[in-house]
Amino acid sequence: MEWASWSDFWHMGGYGFYVWGSYGVTAVCVAIEVLLLKRAAGDTRRRLKRMRQWEEQ
């Protein structure tokens, strides 16, 4: 095991800012992509259903 303690882990030998800056933004990017995708999928379904209803009228 490399790390003596959690604070040591977060500190990353003085480079915590850079390491977590990179990993954090990556995580945020992925999270945003997944979130947008989920939302867009829901939107599409709702819109298509609404359009179906019009067409039936």
Partner 1 sequence: MSDAHLSVHDLACARGDRLLFKDMNFRLNSGELLLVQGGNGQGKTSLLRLLTGLSSPEDGEVRWRGDPIRKQREAYHAEMAYLGHANGVKDDLNPVENLRFADGLQGRVFDAARGIATLERLGLGRCLDLPCRVLSFGQRRRVALAALLLAGVTLWILDEPLTGLDVHAVALMESLIRDHLNGGGMVVATTHQALNLEGVTVRRLLVGKVEIPELA
Partner 2 sequence: MNLYTYASPANFYILAGKLIPWFAWGAGLFTAWGLYIAFFLAPTDFQQSEAYRIIFIHVPAAWMSMFIYLVMAFWGAIGLAFNTRLSFMMARALAPTGAIFTFIALWTGAWWGKPMWGAWWVWDARLTSELILLFLYVGIIALWAAIDDIKRGDRAGSLLTLIGAINVPIIYFSVKWWNTLHQGASVSLTKAPSMAATMLQGMLILAIAAWLYTIAVAMARVRRIILERERQSEWVKALLEKES
Residues at the site binding partner 1, with contacts judged by CB under 8 A: 50, 54, 57
Amino acid at 44: T
Residue nearer to partner 1 on the CB measure, 5 or 57: 57
Least Å from the CB of residue 37 to partner 2: 5
54 touches, from partner 2, partner 1, none (C-beta below 5 to 8 Å by class): partner 1
| Dist CA 52 CA 54 (whole Å) | 5
Least Å from the CB of residue 25 to partner 1: 32
CA distances (Å), origin 34, targets 12, 28, 50, 52: 29, 10, 24, 27
